[in-house]
Amino acid sequence: MGRSCIEKLWDAHEITDLGDGSSLLYIDRVFLHERTGSIALKSLEASGRRVRNPAQVFCTMDHIVDTFPGRTDQTLMPSGTDFITATREAARAAGITVFDLGDPRQGIVHVIAPEQGIAYPGLTLVCPDSHTCTQGALGALAWGIGSTEAEHAMATQTLVVRRPKTMRVVFDGTLSHGVTAKDMILHLIATHGADGGVGYAIEFAGPAVRNMPMEARFTLCNMAVEFGAWTGVIAPDEITYEYVRGRPYAPSAEHWESAETCWRSLVSDDDARFDAELRVNVADIVPTVSWGTSPQHAVGIDETVPDPATEKDVNRRQLMEKALEYMDLKPGVPLEGIPIGAAFIGSCTNSRLSDLRNAAAIVKGKRVAEGVRAIIVPGSGQVKAAAEAEGLDKTFVDAGFEWRESGCSMCFFAGGENFGLETRVVSSTNRNFENRQGPRTRTHIASPTTVAASALRGALTDVRKLV
Amino acid sequence: MEKFTQLTAIAAPIRRINIDTDIIIPSREMKRVSKQGLGEGLFAGWRYTKPGGREENADFILNQPPYREAKIILTSANFGCGSSREHAVWALHEWGIRCIIAPSFGSIFQGNCVRNGILPVVLDDEKVVELVNWVEQDAAANQLTVDLVAGKVSAADHIEYSFSLSEADREMLLNGLDAIAVTLKRADEIAAFESRDQKQRPWAYPQRPAP
């Protein structure tokens, strides 16, 4: 019987089958950030253990750092500096490569690991961060872990992992104008629930994925965790190889041929079996926006806020009722036209150069609506520099956006910067959880172009009318 | 790590699907580079009346008398979804929770529980509802017993449900094992794999970045 891409990746890293449904897997890369990596490094040191292979461990500063121009180690978040300095000291002591503040390569872990060529096809990569699944888009097995597991990975270069069930999600058809990878994944989660992928590793496949540029693939895989999946993977192809080739830490010319030969064999065999399969025709997808407090609470921008009374499942109905209360919305209200107080473009989901280009094309020569606070946070120093070289920063600033240094920024509220109590925000991030972006902040997640269009109008907007 | 073998305790129903780790501990409550001092921030958004405040919200179940002593949480599907923050588990543990019963868990959260002495029990939603109904009749008296050795959750003498856990996780909890120490028993196997792999996949090992 044939094997799937996920099974091939798994088998290539299996040191031993532990016989209880789990295996000891070899871990090729560990990436840390200052929020959860600091405690992992500190705790490892306290236990008297060492990082086994420092060359396979990398670290960035993204979660706690401020994103204001001219930032330093000081943070608006109380005690944030402690996380930064503790991480820096422990990482240096362990001999780990750090992409520190001031380093032009610094940025959000899931943006810079691919950007630097640290993540590429055929690898296992872990990070104490749930959105590590983003990097599965390269044809790698990449997943989020806890801090204790990060210690384990650093001390042993292995993890004990329960073998997941496999699911293939096939995206057929062609995306309509104005519809993006973000809309695809929101649509999938809204259709099958935030627990639709629990217990599964998911391969995203089909023509719509094959035709997708690398950066959009990252967006798609990024929210596999919001679907409850252990991780998401896209089998590598020419688009992947083209993306990886020549990056600083990517395989050298000397090893490239043997790497590519291996990568080509990672594609799922025709007779590979999956435990579950879903099919979606992407032509049916419209720009999608969340209305509630779970990523499953999302509908097309041309729809209305759903009525919990129509939901048969009691658990789902109760969550919908709580969500409407938190979001201060009533059933039946059209999504389009709901007034917003802020707009945010950034995060590991949507902060790459193509995201910024697409958003800039919407706002060029226009102005953000009166009273709307609009912020752009590039995903890395390199994304920022590339955007500035194209003049995108000027487009955004002229339109009334703030242009920031890279980091996770207001994707979540750590006690520092936030949009304010009960502010309604349209955001290119991945989580619309209660209080995620700030105390009682009401988050609507959407694509960067929907965010840009909504910022101009001061209300949730169907971006298809502007492109 | 603290062992888990058997527990009889008050169970608090916190029934809502998709309770994420941001709810279990908001990021703003993760103030120090430490696993300690997090119990205070547990469910902070629900437990206190104001963001960042400490005035208790009397409506929240864990602020109510019998449930203040709860060691078990009865909850709904996909508990602990979202952020990987292990602080959620450290906060639950410090507050006193030792077992969580749900139809499903966020995968990273579930792993974090096992590594910190908290038993995640997976039971069908209808069974969780049965337990909730019984507990709610008199939470102080109607305590649940969770037995990891037998793999059973029971309520008095009329409800008994079996649950399973992977053998590795079960061993780890029953014996309070240090997972790294367990793996390091296979150090030779790991080294052998690595040296073989370096020949087969030389491209997979990081090189100095190109200038």
Domain ranges of chain A: 5-162, 288-465
Q: Which amino acid is at B114?
A: V
With an 8 Å Cβ cutoff, are B167 and A19 in contact? yes
Q: Is A194 an interface residue toward B (CB < 8 Å)?
A: yes
- One-letter amino acid for residue A353 of the chain: L
Q: What is the mean pLDDT of chain B?
A: 96
Q: What token pair was written down for A133? A: 């699944």
| Ramachandran assignment for A140, one of left (phi > 0), alpha (psi -120 to 50 degrees), beta (any other) | beta
Read out DSSP for A375-419?
EE--SBHHHHHHHHHTTHHHHHHHHT-EE--SS-GGGS-SSS---
At A413, phi and psi to the nearest 5?
-105, 115
Pairing state between β A298-300 and A231-233: unpaired
Residue in the structure block whose two tokens are 């330093």: A72
Nearest CA in chain B to A128: B84
Handedness of CA A395, A397, A399, A402 (dihedral sign): positive
A154 touches A261 (CB < 8 A): no
Given A24, A83, A228, which is nearest B33 (Cβ)?
A83
Residue B156 contacts A, CB cutoff 8 Å: no
- B80 reaches A (C-beta below 8 A): no
**Tens of pLDDT, residues B136-192:** 999 999 999 999 999 999 998 789 999 999 999 999 999 999 999 999 999 999 999
pLDDT at B208 over 90: no
Mutate to test the interface with B, among A42, A49, A198, A410 (most CBs of B within 10 A): A198
**Four-way CATH pick for B6-177: 3.40.50.10800, 3.30.70.270, 3.30.450.30, 3.20.19.10:** 3.20.19.10
Beta strand segments in A50-198, E: 57-60, 97-99, 124-127, 141-144, 158-162, 165-172
CATH no. of A288-465: 3.30.499.10
Structural domain boundaries of chain B?
A: 6-177
Domains A5-162 and A288-465 share a fold: yes
CB neighbours (10 Å) of residue A391? 12
Q: What is the CA radius of gyration of chain A?
A: 21
Where does residue A21 fall: left (phi above 0), alpha (psi -120 to 50 degrees), or beta otherwise?
left
In a 10 Å sphere around its CB, with 0-12 CB exposed, 13-18 middle and 19+ buried, how is residue B208 labelled?
A: exposed
| Tens digit of each residue's pLDDT, chain A (467 residues) | 899 999 999 999 999 999 999 999 999 999 999 999 999 999 999 999 999 999 999 999 999 999 999 999 999 999 999 999 999 999 999 999 999 999 999 999 999 999 999 999 999 999 999 999 999 999 999 999 999 999 999 999 999 999 999 999 999 999 999 999 999 999 999 999 999 999 999 999 999 999 999 999 999 999 999 999 999 999 999 999 999 999 999 999 999 999 999 999 999 999 999 999 999 999 999 999 999 999 999 999 999 999 999 999 999 999 999 999 999 999 999 999 999 999 999 999 999 999 999 999 999 999 999 999 999 999 999 999 999 999 999 999 999 999 999 999 999 999 999 999 999 999 999 999 999 999 999 999 999 999 999 999 999 999 999 98
Would you say the C-alpha torsion A94, A95, A98, A100 has a positive or negative sign?
positive
CA end-to-end span of chain B, whole Å? Answer: 45
Identify the pLDDT of residue B140.
97
Would you state the pLDDT for residue B207?
Answer: 76
- Nearest chain B residue to A155 by CA: give it: B180
Measured between alpha carbons, how far is A114 from B170 in angstroms, rounded to an integer?
36
Residue type at B193? F
The pLDDT of residue B51 is 86
Is 3.30.499.10 the CATH classification of the domain at A5-162?
yes
Substitution target in A16, A33, A39, A440 with the highest count of B β-carbons within 10 Å is: A39
Give the residue from chain B lying closest to A296, CA to CA: B18
pLDDT of residue B210: 53
Phi-psi label, residue B117: left if phi above 0, alpha if psi -120 to 50, beta otherwise? left
| Strands A97-99 and A57-60, sheet pairing | parallel
pLDDT in tens, B64-92: 999 999 999 999 999 999 999 999 999 99
Structure confidence at residue B157 (pLDDT): 79
Strand partners, A16: A24
Per CB-CB distance under 8 Å, the chain A contacts of B32 are 79, 82
